[in-house]
């Protein structure tokens, strides 16, 4: 119940997404878009079924590509 209350409280604030993104690899400076993508990956998508009966999983995949020493491994 305590965790549910905390989630409800966070839901009512304007900057909850910014705070959650700030918790992704806080020691890595910048890379805001990568942190956004990782947060959305952790939350996940919505499973859907079309009218034709096709199932869409709703899984989110992220591929991080960049130069060496750009903190890519820190996001794992």
| pLDDT value, residue 68 | 92
pLDDT at 74 over 90: no
Quote the CA–CA distance of 18 and 24 in Å, as a whole number. 10
Q: Find the angle CA(16)-CA(25)-CA(8) to the nearest 5 degrees.
A: 20
pLDDT computed for residue 17 by the predictor: 87
Query: What pTM does this model have?
Result: 0.71
Domain that holds residue 69: 2-75
Bridge partners of residue 58, in order along the sequence: none
Predicted pLDDT of residue 12: 83
Phi, psi of 49 (to 5 degrees): -125, 130
Number of other CB atoms surrounding residue 72 within 10 Å: 15
Question: How many structural domains compose the chain?
Answer: 1
Q: 6-61, pLDDT tens digit by residue?
A: 888 888 888 888 888 999 999 999 999 999 999 999 988 888 999 999 998 888 88
Strands (DSSP E) found in the chain: 48-49, 55-56
């Amino acid at each position: 119940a305590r965790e549910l209350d905390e989630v409800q409280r966070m839901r009512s604030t304007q900057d909850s997404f910014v705070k959650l993104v700030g918790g992704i690899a806080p020691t890595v400076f910048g890379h805001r878009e990568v942190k956004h993508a990782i947060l959305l990956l952790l939350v996940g998508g919505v499973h859907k079924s079309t009218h034709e009966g096709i199932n869409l999983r709703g899984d989110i995949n992220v591929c991080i590509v960049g130069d060496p020493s750009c903190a890519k491994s820190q996001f794992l």
